Each structure stands twice: as structure tokens, then as C-alpha cells.
Amino acid sequence: MFPPRHLPTAKVISTRSSRSSFYIWLSRRSITQKLPPSSANTVARPRRNWKPLENETPPTHNNRSRGAGGVWASETTRHLNSRGCSLVKKEINFPNNTHITDKSIVCFAFLFLVIGSASAEQNWWQFRGPSGDGHTTSTNLPLKWSEAENVTWKTAIHDRGWSSPVIWGGQIWLTTATADGRKLFAVCLDKVTGKIVHDLHLFDVLKPMRITKDNTYATPTPVIDERRVILHFGTYGTACLDTETGDVLWKRRDLNCDHEAGAGPASSPTLVGDKAVVHVDGRDVQYIIALDKTTGKTVWKTLRSLEYSKFPVHHRKAYSMPALVPRGQGKQLVSPAGRGLYAYDPKTGKELWYVRHRGWSVAPRPVSGHGLVFATVDRDRPELWAIRLDGKGDVTDTHIEWKSIRSMPQRCSPLLVGDLLFVVNRGGIASCLEAKTGEVVWKERLKGVYSASPIYAEGRIYLFNEEGLATVIRPTRKLEVIASNALARQPFMATPAVDGDAFIMRTGGHLYRIEAQR
């Protein structure tokens, strides 16, 4: 179907960042090839009704950006982004002898938005987001919400689970399980409507171990890419599904360990290139393994190198996940475990270095910055350690930069914003530390008990307690609370996901899409 002649060159039917697509009419005359040389490399003047934003000037001949061989459309993409279209900035290099109108630049900006929307950087594909550290580039997350305000949709999720939602394209995936752990499921929702697309029974478990009342049999968070989602249930099974059809691509039921009666599974996988990497840290076996994400076959498997037979049996287990952090010009996987913190080559699984500690049942995921990795050790007496990343072998006595031992988190992962490190412990004591030295900047008590990890967006830190109360603070050297919000009082332990300018929040029985209503 062709557009009516009266339509403009580009018409956006929906600019809601939550929508999965944009509808654009392109005029055949918006780009004219082979013009005379005098018109080449020319940036079109803005429309007569163009109104600059504060401190912004129109993209005229005097302030245009130019590249060798053509003009650049960065001014227009910046203008659209500032108008709330959530564009990813793209510089578009057109060939010589191409005349570009302002309307066609708009078209190209939106085309690049649609193309770019499938990239990993814009999808919440793992626990704590694309970078795994709780940061998002979203610029308009809601500051206020309740059951009656800024809720786009609310969908009931059957049974129990504390896996965080993961998002790719138009889909949201999460896991759930019966309370007794005998049936394990994957659930997919349409992110725009909240309607359930797939509800798949993946595994039956004959004799699940008893777990703590805080945990579920569906606590590990999945990972997802453009074609597949990998769902991990600890010792009870791992499955890879085709995201379009819901078909099972492969399963593994041999990644077994003793999570300990009264505990349960919690370690989530991550993706590193074509590999899914997961911890298997039980009372009986301790290793890290990489699976080919396409076939499920083992790429490498590395046993923890400490002599765990010498440790008390309950000191051998852990519930964390690996973090991909810098190492020189490359990367390394930092991997918390019982009685030790390890680093591995993600390509081969070769152990690079390790640090010994006396902790166990470690859960928070590390974050990195300033040449350091910040990792929690121990559950009962948690400490936060800063360790230099350039080590080799046993670096316990050489590479620990600082330790903080008071009011550190048992479950919530740390958040690094610039030079400041923010943590909240289970009892609600929030702390701000100097990342380079560990010096305490401030320490204050918040309301409630905490399990979900914090999220940072555009000068705001969002902290979520176990009753669904969210406290929003500034990342500053003095505690500054700017908002406090709550849904209906209900269990809330899963770390939220972010989709565009919306939170995807999981409670004890529902999944919510929360965003500013326009």
C-alpha cells in the first residue's frame, strides 16, 4: 500500500518508547542523487516552525557537522532524542553528490532507530541489564508510581519465582515453578500489551530438595539474545528455547550439585560471545562451565582450584554469578565462590588469579571500575573487597586495595556511579563509599528489608525493598531522597528490568509495566 500524497515525508504514528516498531512513510523525492557539485555536502536548513531547545542552535550551514565524503545527521538525531523519542545517536555518512533534505534525515534517523533496536546494548538481556552492573541509558524512567498511577499493564504470573525479567525485541521472559518444585516453567509476555505469548512446562522434578521460604525453585535469571532464551534452574535443569516458536532447542540435566537443604538454586548464567557461562557451586562439587549457546555442548569446564575438602561442607557452596570485566586490552570473568574469588579467561576457562577469603554462600554479583573489582565475600558477616584486576595466581596478599566490613550487603549487588559506590544491606542500611579508597561517605537506614539490586538511570538511584517500596535517591555525597513509591503491599525480591523508559517489575504474583503515561 502506498502513502496518500498529502502525507509528509516522515510521519511517526507512535513515538512511545515502549512500542516495538515505528511506522514511517518515505517520499521518493526526499533524496535526490547526482545533483551538481555545488549542492553536494549541503545540510538542509530547518523548517520555518523549527524551535530550538534551551542552549541549542538550529543545524544551519554555520554549525553543521561534516565528514569527508558527505554530511552527518547527528544534529537532527540529537534534536529528536531531546524531544523524547529515545533515539540512539547515530552519525549517518551519505555519499558525495547526495542532497539531503531535513525530512529525509528524519527518516534515516528513525530507520537507524528501528535497525539499532535489536542490539544487545538496548535490550535487558541478563541480570542487572546489558552491562550487568545495574546501569541503564534510559532518560525518562518514572519518578512516581502506584497501583493507580503510571501502570501500563499488570499481568498475573502463576506459581512462584524470583528470576528477574529479561527483554529482547518485543518479548519479556521469566521463569516460575510450583511451590513444591516439581514443575518448572518458562513464561513469555508481549512487552507492549502484557499478554502471555508462551507458557511452557520445561521440567518435572521427582525429588526437589527443600528450600528456604525466601527462595523459589525459579530464582536464577535467564539470558536472551535475538534468537534464543536460556533458562537455568540450578541443579534441576537448563533449557534453551527458540524465542519465536517456543520450541526447545536443547536441554541439559547434568549440571548437578547439592545446593543444600533449606537453600535452593540462585546462580544465574551470563552470555559471553557464543557461550553461556554458569556457576555450579554446591556442597559436593564446585566449578564454572561454559556451554555453546547454540548446541548446549560443553565448551570448557574449570574446577575451583582451592582444596574444598578441607573446608566445612556448608562453606563450599555459593549462589553468585560471573561478571565480565576488563583485563588489559581484553576481558576476564570474575567469579565469586565459597572461600574464594576467582578470575578466568572467558575463551578457554583458564584460571588467571584468585583471592582467598573465609566466606560462603556469596550471592551479590561483582561490579568493576577504576581498575578494581568490587565483590562481596561471606553471607553471615559480609565484607566488600576492592581487588586490582591485573593479578596472576594467588593475589590475596598483593592485590586487595581495601576492605569494608560494616553494613555490607548479603544479597544486593553493589552499584558504582562515577567515584562513588552505593550498597544496601539486608536490613536496609544504605552506604556510600569512595570507590578508590573504601572510605565511608555516608550511611543511612532506609525502610524495610532488601534483596533486589539497585538500578541507576540519569542521575537517580532506585532502591527496592521486599514489600515493593521504592526509594529514589541522588548519587551524591549526602543522602538526598527525591521520591518514594509503592505498589500494593506484596512480596518483592526480584531486581526489576528496564525497557526504554519503563520498569518491568516482578512481584510475588504479578508482572508490571510501569512508565510515565503520555
Flag whether pLDDT at 112 surpasses 90. no
Mean pLDDT of 55-78: 35
Mean pLDDT of 264-276: 98
Rounded to 5 degrees, φ, ψ at 378 are: 80, 155
Cell of 427: 536490613
Mean pLDDT of 454-474: 98
Tell me what pLDDT residue 61 has.
Answer: 35
In which order are the strands placed within the sheet that holds 455-457?
455-457, 460-464, 469-473, 481-486
Tell me what pLDDT residue 347 has.
Answer: 98
pTM for this entry: 0.79
Q: How far apart are CA 412 and CA 396, in angstroms?
A: 24
Note the CATH number of domain 120-515. 2.130.10.10
Mean pLDDT of 40-47: 37
Tell me what pLDDT residue 518 has.
Answer: 78
Extents of the domains making up the chain? 31-116, 120-515
Low-confidence winner among 33-37, 311-315, 322-326, 378-382 (lowest mean pLDDT): 33-37
- Residue 461: which of 506, 507, 408, 416 has the closest Cα? 416
Low-confidence winner among 20-24, 145-149, 315-319, 414-418 (lowest mean pLDDT): 20-24
Sign of torsion over alpha carbons 98, 99, 103, 105: positive
Flag whether pLDDT at 165 surpasses 90. yes
> What distance lies between CA 181 and its chain's CA centroid?
27
Flag whether pLDDT at 454 surpasses 70. yes
Please give, one letter per residue, the 3-state secondary structure of 176-235. EECCCCCEEEEEEEECCCCCEEEEEEEEECCCCCCECCCCCCCCCCCEECCCEEEEECHH
Work out the pLDDT band at 290, boundaries 50, 70, 90: very high
Element (H, E) at 113: helix 102-116
Tell me what pLDDT residue 121 has.
Answer: 63
Phi-psi region of 17 (alpha: psi -120 to 50; beta: other; left: phi over 0): alpha
Tell me what pLDDT residue 122 has.
Answer: 86
Tell me what pLDDT residue 17 has.
Answer: 39
How many percent of the chain have pLDDT more than 70? 77
Mean pLDDT of 336-356: 99
Tell me what pLDDT residue 439 has.
Answer: 98
Q: Beta strands 351-356 and 393-394: pairing type?
A: parallel
Cell of 395: 593475589
Cell of 62: 554555520
Q: How far apart are CA 238 and CA 283, in angstroms?
A: 20
- Residue 472: which of 493, 446, 494 has the closest Cα? 446
Mean pLDDT of 18-23: 36
Flag whether pLDDT at 270 surpasses 70. yes
Span 181-237, pLDDT tens digits: 999 999 999 999 999 999 999 999 999 999 999 999 999 999 999 999 999 999 999
Tell me what pLDDT residue 184 has.
Answer: 99
How many percent of the chain have pLDDT more than 90? 75
Low-confidence winner among 44-53, 139-148, 340-349, 430-439 (lowest mean pLDDT): 44-53
Work out the pLDDT band at 119, boundaries 50, 70, 90: low
Rounded to 5 degrees, φ, ψ at 442 are: -155, 160
Q: DSSP states of 402-433 as a string?
A: EEE-SS--SSSPPEEETTEEEEE-TTSEEEEE
Q: How far apart are CA 72 and CA 90, in angstroms?
A: 9
Low-confidence winner among 81-95, 282-296, 365-379, 393-407 (lowest mean pLDDT): 81-95
Work out the pLDDT band at 120, boundaries 50, 70, 90: low
Mean pLDDT of 19-28: 34
Flag whether pLDDT at 86 surpasses 50. no
Q: Beta strands 286-292 and 98-100: pairing type?
A: unpaired
Q: Beta strands 367-369 and 351-356: pairing type?
A: unpaired
Work out the pLDDT band at 45, boundaries 50, 70, 90: very low
Mean pLDDT of 336-346: 98
Flag whether pLDDT at 58 surpasses 50. no
Query: What is the torsion angle, in degrees rounded to the nearest 10, for the CA atoms of residue 50, residue 52, residue 53 and residue 59?
Result: 100
Low-confidence winner among 19-33, 44-58, 477-491 (lowest mean pLDDT): 19-33
Tell me what pLDDT residue 398 has.
Answer: 98
What value does the mean pLDDT of the chain take? 84
Mean pLDDT of 235-259: 98
